[in-house]
Amino acid sequence: MSRLRLPVPHEAWNKLRAALLRAFPLQSFPWCGYDTSIAYEILFRLRPTGGAAHPPGDNLPRAVCTACGAVHYENPRVVVGCVPEWQGRILLCSRAIMPRRGYWTTPAGFLENGESLQAAAAREALEEAEARVEIGSLLAVTHVLHAAQVHVMFRGRLLDGRFGVGAESLESGLYEESAIPWDDIAFPSITFALRSFFEDRSAEWERVHYHDIERPVRY
C-alpha cells in the first residue's frame, strides 16, 4: 500500500490502511507483483481533490505504483446490445436481475475481453432471449457519463423468429411499436435506442444517433 502515491494525510492514511487491510485480503499489484490490496481503489476514491499524482504527460490524477511506475487507469466500461426486429415487431426482455428487475429492455450487456461489439450484441441476444440475431448497422451510442459507461446499440434481425427466456430474464416477447411498455423501460439508453429505431424506420433510413446522460435518473 505504501508504494501507491495517494495524497492522503499520514494519520488518516494509516487508519484507513489498517481498517481496509483487515477487511480485504492482499493480492498482487497487476504489473510488478508487489503486494497491495484492493483497498487502494477505495483510498484513491477518497483522496482529497487536490494533489493527486499526475504521471508525466498526463493531465489527470492517477494511482501510480512507485515500485515500477505503472499507472492504474480507470476507463469507461462498454455495454453493447441490439434492437432485434422480426416482422415489424421488437424483441424485449423483462429483467430478472438488479438493477431494474422486472423492467423491460432489449438484449444488452457488458462487452467481454477478446470480443467484438457485434459478437457481444449477438451473444447477449442469445443469453437473455435465446434468440439468434443477425447484427446490422450501428444505431445509437449513449455516453452515461456519471456511471463511466458507453452504451452501444445496433439494429438487429431475428434469424428465424424463435426466442425464449434466458437466465437473466423473467419473460420475453415481440412488441409492435404501439405496444412498447414505455413507462417500464429499464434504462434511458434503451428508451433512446428504441425511439431512434422507430424514427429511422418511419423515415426509411438508417442513421447513427448520439446521446449524453450526465446525471443519474431518479426512478
Nearest to 156 by CA among 191, 119, 184: 119
SS3 of 27, please?
Answer: strand
Q: What is the pTM of this model?
A: 0.77
Q: What is the pLDDT of residues 153-198, one digit of tens each?
A: 999 999 999 999 999 999 999 999 999 999 999 999 999 999 999 9
Q: What is the pLDDT of residues 43-65, one digit of tens each?
A: 554 444 333 467 777 887 777 66
Alpha-carbon distance of 78 to 82, in angstroms, equals 13
**Burial class of residue 204 (count of CB atoms within 10 Å of its CB; 0-12, 13-18, 19+):** exposed
DSSP at 7: -
